[in-house]
Chains A and B, each alone.
Chain A
Amino acid sequence: MKYQHSPRMRRILRALAGACCPPQAIELDLLDDIVDHAELTIGAIPAPVRAALIAGLRSYDLAAMAVPRNRGRRAGDLDPERSLAYFESWWRSPVGLQREFAKGIKGILCLSHFEMPAIRDRLDYHPQAWIDKVKRYRLTTYSEDIERQYRSILARDPLPMPDDGALHEGAS
């Protein structure tokens, strides 16, 4: 079955995206799109890793309640300022598992952030246009060589057999 975020998971990830992605995620109203995109990424990772990640997200959510300044709120319910401070406490945690979790979830959410068309525009990153251009150039400029390689791939060229009298020493 395809992975889908639960409503709570969406809330946690939305808060995390606001904390670890660049500010344009909030300024350009991209948080929901980033969470949607992260659903695809999380759905593609191996089931045991996904289970560990979700367990980590639940722990992250609940552990926020133990931080006095969060006033009993879970991570998904924190305001942006507190959410950032809480994320940073995991990012810089002396506990290796917390650091690895923060690094991993930042990776997933920022990957989604930089895949957003608005962010690609902002970076002036348009690789598909470049690909289309050079692909056309290749096909028009080098069609003969391309055709020659195609024919070569299908041309008969069997490995020599002992009866051929052309077997080199390395064959055994």
Chain B
Amino acid sequence: MVALPKEALHAGRIPDNVFTRDDVRRDTELRCDVVIVGSGAGGATAAAELAEGGLDVIVLEEGRYYGTRDFTADASAMIRALYRGGGATAALGSPPIMFQEGIAVGGSTVINGGMSWRTPEDILDRWVREDGLTNHGAKDMEFYFDRVERRIHVREQDPESIGRDNALLKEGADKKGWLIFSNLRNQVHCPGSNNCAFGCPTGAKQSALVSYIPRALHFGARVYSDIRVSKISFDGKRATGVLGRVVDEDGRRGAKVTVRASIVVAACGAIHTPALLHRSGVRSPSGRLGRDLSMHPNVKVVAIFDEQVRGYEGVHQAYQVREFHEQGLVFAAVNMPPSIIGGVGMPHYGAELGELMDDYNRMVIAGMLCEDTSLGRLRMVGGHPVATYQLNDYDAQKLVKGTKLLCELLFEAGAQKILLPFSGPGDLHSADDIKTIDPQQIDKRTMEVLTVHMMGTARMGSDPNRAVTDQNGAVYDADRLFICDAGLFPTPIGVNPMETIQALATRNAHHILIDQERYLS
């Protein structure tokens, strides 16, 4: 067991068993029981469980190791540091859909909003019924959800942390008589700095960086940051380790890192796990690897009130409006800094943009999560994944319908003006203007759509002809190769995916521990 100084968690000191590029200057060969590629929701969780179970674990992460003290309100600096590709990643389609992935120790949990919801029971039932995941019913998974929630401290927010933007969202929902929940978030007395997407600067958000990673380290796991894994090595069908290289901050490749392991776990997320498998020569018998990409596409509206809102003075997404959850729509208030909303969040420029942004402190930025029916896929170009995703008309109209409902709520809360995420109707000045929006008339190519929920590209299932992995995350037609990320989801889940990823990773790790004699032989 490794003594872990508290400063490592909260003050940014690099723990002894975290190795950065400064520690790996020469070609290096490492040995362990399990090598895990990726340190986010799936990788960190699996690492902690397996290390506590007594296995020798190495985690490889492409991004850097940052501590809480490194996270500031300098949004663009944080994006450059913590977001893959500086945040400029998109699925090709019409409209293109911007998507974001974290690239740092802790993965996307470092930059997510900290929403912690169990997979809805109807989704789990569907997985049991349609995908043969007989051990994934709500009762079976309860043990894993309980365990994850205990570890990452899932709670509602303290009332004093809730800012005016969320209070207005709640007022609007209450006036409409709509169902609104206090959000469940992985946090310990989050005081509401609304900086979640740029690294939690208070240490309150229990991202993998300050929960599962320290736990994994405590139980002896080693974490190597700044390592880009190029391939999984095989002996026949049996995974035997990975090959990678140290990368510097400009992406230049340095020393070679070879890890020999009895078990390989890919946890690089729904975009990069299929790419890693593909580069390694894995071809799913079902042909589904890299297909079935779901994204929970979302759009945002900017509502301007005649009072000071100061959305950054309060927590991110204190509530979720669930009135339309059965229709696949969830609403929340999602404050963004002026650089993001003025740069990429509003379809205006020049003097008009300046005038609108002068009202920044009177804005409520609200968005929606849409459970999608569109499916995209990944294509490999020069070894890199390129996502394509064509928003279908049904989902596009659902987004417009959701936008109209969200505008109703915001006008009810007192909004004076609302800016829409698509062209055509112009700005709205009253609830009556909402009626002028005809979903059939909105050109979906003009929609500003983005997402942080990529899922489904390595789906689980009992039928090797329809799935990529079995229900323990073991890749079909390979031996001792597991997946622990959102790629496993057979369908979109309609809620924030972090807790589902962590529960599945816990379950897969449990399976490995139970069968470890077989896998380690």
Contacts and interface: CB of A to CB of B under 8 A. Distances in A.
A32 to B, nearest CB: 17
Which of A1, A40, A125, A146 has the most chain B CB atoms closer than 10 A to its own CB? A125
B191 interface: yes
A142 B141 CA distance: 32
B414 interface: no
B361 interface: yes
Contacts of B342: 110-111, 113-114
Contact of B49 (A115, A128, A159): A159
Interface stretch (B132-140, B222-230, B232-240, B479-487): B132-140
A6 interface: no
A161 interface: yes
A168 B210 CA distance: 29
A94 interface: no
B509 A159 contact: yes
Contacts of A128: 72-73
A152 B190 CA distance: 17
Contacts of B445: 96
Interface residues of A, number: 68
B202 A111 contact: no
B202 A131 contact: yes
Contacts of A45: 85-88
A130 B314 CA distance: 9
A95 interface: no
B176 interface: no
Contact of B143 (A41, A130, A162, A170): A170
Nearest to A87: B349
Contacts of A157: 52, 147, 150
B343 A170 contact: no
Contacts of B296: none
A152 B338 CA distance: 37
Q: Is the interface of A mostly helix, strand, loop or mixed?
A: helix
A115 B313 contact: no
A110 B215 contact: no
Nearest to B345: A107
A130 B313 contact: yes
B401 interface: no
Q: Which secondary structure characterizes the binding site on chain B?
A: helix
Given A49-B85, A114-B357, A125-B360, A141 B514 contact: no
B80 A159 contact: no
Contacts of B357: 22, 114, 123
A134 B344 contact: no
A37 B73 CA distance: 16
B74 interface: yes
B471 interface: yes
Interface residues of B, number: 83
A127 B198 CA distance: 12
Interface string A108-125: 111111110001101111
B286 interface: no
Given A125-B337, A138-B189, A40 B195 contact: no
Which of A150, A152, A156 counts the most chain B CB atoms within 10 A?
A: A150
Contact of A46 (B85, B193, B343): B85
B354 interface: yes
B9 interface: yes
B76 A40 contact: yes
Interface of B: 4, 6, 9, 49, 52-53, 72-77, 79-80, 85-89, 96, 135-137, 139-141, 143-144, 147, 150-151, 153, 161, 188-195, 201-204, 206, 210-211, 214-215, 218, 250-251, 312-313, 337-340, 342-344, 347, 349-351, 353-355, 357-358, 360-361, 445, 471-472, 506-507, 509-511, 513-514
Given A37-B76, A135-B201, A149-B206, 16 more contacts: A23-B350, A23-B351, A40-B77, A44-B79, A45-B87, A113-B339, A114-B342, A127-B73, A134-B191, A134-B202, A135-B193, A138-B189, A158-B53, A169-B140, A171-B135, A172-B135
9 contacts: A21-B350, A21-B354, A49-B88, A112-B339, A125-B338, A127-B337, A159-B147, A161-B514, A167-B514
